[in-house]
Amino acid sequence: MLIRGWVHKISDFLNRIVRSVLFLTTLSFAGLIFTGVVFRYVIKHPLIFSVEIAKLLFIWSAFLAVTVAYKEKKHIRFQFLNAFLKEHLLALNELIIRISGCFFFIILLFYAVRFTQAVWPTFFPVLNLSQGWLYVSVIVALVLLIVHSVDLSLEALEALKAGKKHL
């Protein structure tokens, strides 16, 4: 399937980029928190901007990590339904779950954009930066989750067509 190949390559490429950005954001917020503690309690001169930047970096790290876990199938999944299904229905169940997830992410994206627009006029007091940047991370994560969902749905469809029982 030509479409599956392109979608899979795009999904993998985006995941590699996100893993790199995730490393940097996580390292940055951890370093910033450590530096903030040292400045506040050792040097006795707090970095007042550090809390706001650390909050931004933490939120971005969390939502980017969700996309990596989803793409790599390392997220928590409820497997109890699979125990009740016959083997030939497992791939169909996976396909239904992935397509449902994709639609769910699309609906969430619609509301995330609306919410971000509503929050955009509010600002962090020290940085004077829109608090909407916190919620842009949700939008980015949802777009990535949609791409990964399409990829995983096509993977499940291929498995179903090939008669595979497990993905």
Residue ranges per structural domain of the chain: 2-162
Gyration radius of the chain's alpha carbons: 20
User: Where is pLDDT greater, at 147 or 80?
Assistant: 147
Rounded distance between C-alpha atoms, residue 111 and residue 113, angstroms: 5
User: Global pTM?
Assistant: 0.91
Give the Cβ contact number of residue 92 at 10 Å: 14
Phi first, then psi, for residue 42 (nearest 5°) are: -100, -50
Chain center to CA of 36? 27
Residue-wise pLDDT tens digits, 43-63: 999 999 999 999 999 999 999
User: Does an H or E element contain 26, and which?
Assistant: helix 2-37
**Is the pLDDT confidence value at 163 over 90?**
no
